[in-house]
Amino acid sequence: TIPDTTPVGTVDEYMFQEGVQNQLDILDNELVGLIPVKRRVREIAALLIVDKMRKKLGLETAVPSLHMSFTGAPGTGKTTVAMRMGQILAKMGYCRSGHMQVATRDDLVGQYVGHTAPKTKEQIKEAMGGILFIDEAYYLYNASNDRDYGQESIEILLNVMESNKDDLVVVLAG
C-alpha cells in the first residue's frame, strides 16, 4: 500500500498558518459586541479554508460567491468588517491585495448621459484585486426620477460581479 502523505490539519491550524487567525483576533479587538457578525466572519473563513483543503486534495470544489451585503445603522462597524474581510481573503488567496475601495452613489452615478459608465468602471478598476465597498448602496437607484442613471451603474456592477468574481468582491452597505 502507498502511504497517505496528505498533511492532516484542522481548520483552526490552517487559520493560524495562513495568518487568518491574526485578522480574526484584530476584528475581535476592534469591534465591541457584535458576536453574530464575528461568528459569521469566522464561518466564512472556515468555509473558504475547507474549500482550499478540498482543492489541495484534488476534490471538486466550487468557490462560493464572496459578494456581501452589510446592513445596520451608521457606526455599527460595516466598514471595519469589510476591511478585515479584505485582509482575510487576501491572506487566503481569494483576492490579490485585500485593499478596499470605498464608493458612494456620487462616485458611481453620473448626472448626465454618458457619465455613469466611466465613473462606475473607474471605481471598479481601482477596486480590482480587493473589495469595492459601496456605502449607502440603497441610494444607487432612484425609481421616482426618470432621469436617474443609477440603474446603469447597477447593471455594470452586476455584470462585473459575475465576470470578475475571482478578482473582485463587492460589498453593499447601508
Contact 137, 128 (CB under 8 A): no
Q: Residue 4 above 50 pLDDT?
A: no
pLDDT tens string 106-163 = 999 998 989 999 999 999 999 999 999 999 999 999 888 888 899 999 999 999 999 9
Angle subtended by helix axes 78-91 and 35-56, to nearest 10 = 20
Q: Which residues, 6 or more positions from 127, have their beta carbon under 8 angstroms from its beta carbon?
A: 99, 100, 101, 103, 168, 170
Residue 68: band (very low, low, confident or very high) from pLDDT cuts 50, 70, 90 = very high
pLDDT level of residue 50 (50, 70, 90 thresholds): confident
pLDDT in tens, 69-99: 999 999 999 999 999 999 999 988 888 998 9
**In the chain, domain spans:** 11-173
pLDDT score recorded for residue 9: 66
Q: Can you name the CATH fold of 11-173?
A: Rossmann fold (3.40.50)
Residues 6+ apart with CB under 8 A from 141: 148, 150, 151, 154
Lowest-confidence region among 3-17, 26-40, 65-79, 99-113: 3-17
Instruction: Please compute the mean of the pLDDT values over residues 98-107 and round it to a whole number.
Output: 96
3-class DSSP string for the chain:
CCCCCCCCCCHHHHHHHHCHHHHHHHHHHHCCCCHHHHHHHHHHHHHHHHHHHHHHCCCCCCCCCCCEEECCCCCCCHHHHHHHHHHHHHHCCCCCCCCEEEECHHHHCCCCCCCHHHHHHHHHHHHCCCEEEECCHHHCCCCCCCCCCHHHHHHHHHHHHHHCCCCCEEEEEC
pLDDT at 2: 47
